[in-house]
């Protein structure tokens, strides 16, 4: 964001600069550090700003009746349903739960799963999609084997394990064109 500011004359003009600035206005991490320092107090700062604008007549009371919030640049924690990370994290969760309950698994796929996940990320970054897809299918196979192993050896799962197994089954059944 800060680097784009240095390249964009419109943003600089909007900030009050008359000439194009070539150096960064502040260190790129200072915004993140400020946001962490402010934390939950940001909402109270917004309330104070609105009250100050009302008291100085810079803003009418009617202008707060309808508020538009733009979230287009806000990060969203949405993963694609057939994402390799979902397969990897679900397998790790199931292995951890099985170990806590004393279920002996045939194989945890810890080492090979970690390696396949790293390879998948590497291949996808290099735009080698056939190889990345192969590693994703391998991770899905590891998850499917783990689910079947737990289901076979632990016929009466408790509520937490039952929930995680149903999530894993739903994840394994999802298709690329599925809406769920």
- Cβ(85)–Cβ(143) below 8 Å: no
The beta-carbon contacts of 38-41 under 8 Å, at least 24 apart in sequence, are none
- Confidence label for 47 from pLDDT (cuts 50, 70 and 90): confident
Tokens 């998948």 sit on residue: 120
- Cβ(115)–Cβ(85) below 8 Å: no
Give the lowest-confidence range in 45-54, 59-68, 102-111, 159-168: 59-68
Q: Report whether pLDDT(91) > 60.
A: yes
Tell which wins on pLDDT, 118 or 68.
118
CA-based radius of gyration for the chain: 25
Question: How far separated are the first and last CA of the chain, in Å rounded?
Answer: 34
Give dist(CA 113, CA 95) in Å, integer.
12
Give dist(CA 132, CA 72) in Å, integer.
29
Q: Is the pTM of this model over 0.75?
A: no
Angle CA(155)–CA(157)–CA(160) in degrees, nearest 5? 160
What separation in angstroms does the CA of 158 have from each of 21, 32, 94, 98, 105? 62, 42, 13, 11, 17
What separation in angstroms does the CA of 164 have from each of 1, 96, 146, 159? 39, 11, 12, 9
Give dist(CA 34, CA 13) in Å, integer.
24
Give dist(CA 72, CA 129) in Å, integer.
28
- Confidence label for 81 from pLDDT (cuts 50, 70 and 90): low
Tokens 């939950």 sit on residue: 40
**pLDDT given for residue 33 in this prediction:** 85
Q: What is the pLDDT of residues 100-147, one digit of tens each?
A: 999 999 999 999 999 999 999 999 999 999 999 999 999 999 999 999
């Amino acid at each position: 964001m800060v680097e784009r500011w240095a390249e964009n004359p419109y943003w600089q003009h909007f900030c009050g600069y008359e000439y194009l600035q070539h150096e960064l206005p502040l260190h790129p991490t200072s915004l993140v550090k400020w946001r962490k320092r402010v934390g939950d107090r940001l909402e109270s700062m917004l309330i104070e700003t609105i009250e100050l604008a009302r008291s100085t007549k810079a803003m009418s009371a009617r202008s707060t009746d309808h508020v538009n919030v733009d979230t287009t640049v806000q990060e969203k924690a949405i993963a694609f349903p057939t994402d390799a990370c979902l397969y990897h994290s679900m397998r790790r969760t199931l292995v951890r739960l099985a170990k806590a309950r004393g279920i002996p698994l045939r194989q945890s796929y810890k080492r090979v799963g970690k390696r396949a996940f790293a390879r998948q990320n590497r291949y996808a970054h290099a735009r080698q999609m056939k190889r990345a897809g192969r590693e994703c299918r391998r991770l899905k196979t590891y998850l499917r084997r783990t689910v079947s192993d737990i289901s076979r050896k632990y016929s009466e799962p408790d509520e937490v394990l039952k929930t995680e197994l149903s999530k894993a089954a739903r994840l394994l059944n999802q298709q690329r064109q599925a809406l769920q």
